[in-house]
Amino acid sequence: MYETAEQVAEALRGQDYVIDSDLAVVVLLATRLERPLLLEGPAGVGKTELAKSLALASGRRLIRLQCYEGLDDGRALYEWDYGKQLLHVQMLRDRIGETLADAPDMASAAKRLRDQDTGLYSEHFLSVRPLLETVLSEDPVVLLVDEVDRTEESMEALLLEVLAERQITVPEVGTFTARSTPWVVLTSNDTRELSPALKRRCLHFHVDFPDAARETEIVSRRAPEVADDLIGDVVELARKLREMPLRKPPSISEVVDAARAAAVLGGVERGPLLATLLKYSSDVDLATRRLAGDAEPEPEVPVAKDEWVTPSRPRNTTTAAFRGRGGNNSNRYDQPRRGRR
């Protein structure tokens, strides 16, 4: 158990994870208060890596639930091992026949069978998935619910019982309460807004790309074989790219790969390094033009001509609609006014 944010930062540095000071305080609170930690921010800023490093630094086993569109409770909670259940029934077949041999009729046999506990629906026949595995673990673990924003909102309801009550209910068996207290880390890439109920149960922190000094230290720790001057140049190039309107800005891991590529090439060659930093051809084309100093063409804005337009008088549609109707007085407004005699 960590006592200060400095201890958290030092433990994570031992796993080559350089954490922001504010985030270190939030991690300390999450571990001390035993509250889930929700990390939101763009992809590639180190949210998933934080959970991995926290598990390694604390000596806890990491259990990961990778979220995706279409994830259901069978993949997140548990499934019944039907093969094992069928084998169990086959083994009990002879014994069941002996038990029901003296039954006078079918109704009595069915009642006697219902009263027997065959053990088909028990913990032994459960195929545990990440959430139930976390609850059943005797040793404290780190549960990583990665990219929770990629699932449907219905999946969040399954998470609420685990996050709020630390328990999972299996209708055929009962309720399993957590046998140890896990540290829970949820990550989101902000592709959709999470429900207020889920956020209310978590500590929240928005993780952004690190500043130049911290990113340089991160790359130096992950790629110690690369010279410091090369790392500085690659980091500066990545920061310039992130200021452009790209489909996917370079992540920290891609900057590490670019630094290693620069060491192989013997210098920062923008063309080859863009292959490690950018993954879309449109981004490569845009970055190539911007880095070459070619300004993007400004969109043409139509300029109104300086000329006065006299608005035409609107047609009197009401008079036209009633013209020619109304008997003898239908044309009274169309006749010229006569003077007095």
pTM assigned to the model: 0.76
- Whether 322 has a pLDDT exceeding 70, the answer reads no
User: Are the C-beta atoms of residues 47 and 187 closer than 8 Å to each other?
Assistant: yes
User: Are the C-beta atoms of residues 19 and 11 closer than 8 Å to each other?
Assistant: no
Question: pLDDT, tens digit, for every residue of 259-306?
Answer: 999 999 988 888 889 999 999 999 999 999 999 875 455 444 454 444
The DSSP symbol for 38 reads E
Pick the CATH number of 5-73+137-206 from 3.40.50.300, 1.10.10.10, 3.40.50.720, 3.40.50.1100: 3.40.50.300
Question: pLDDT, tens digit, for every residue of 172-202?
Answer: 888 889 999 999 999 999 999 999 999 999 9
User: Are the C-beta atoms of residues 248 and 278 closer than 8 Å to each other?
Assistant: yes
Q: Which residues contact 185 (CB under 8 A, 6 or more apart)?
A: 30, 36, 37, 39, 50, 51, 54, 142, 143, 144, 145
Q: Specify the DSSP element, H or E, that contains 176.
A: strand 174-177
Q: Where are the domains of the chain?
A: 5-73+137-206, 78-124, 212-287
Give the Cα separation of 284 and 22 in Å (integer).
34
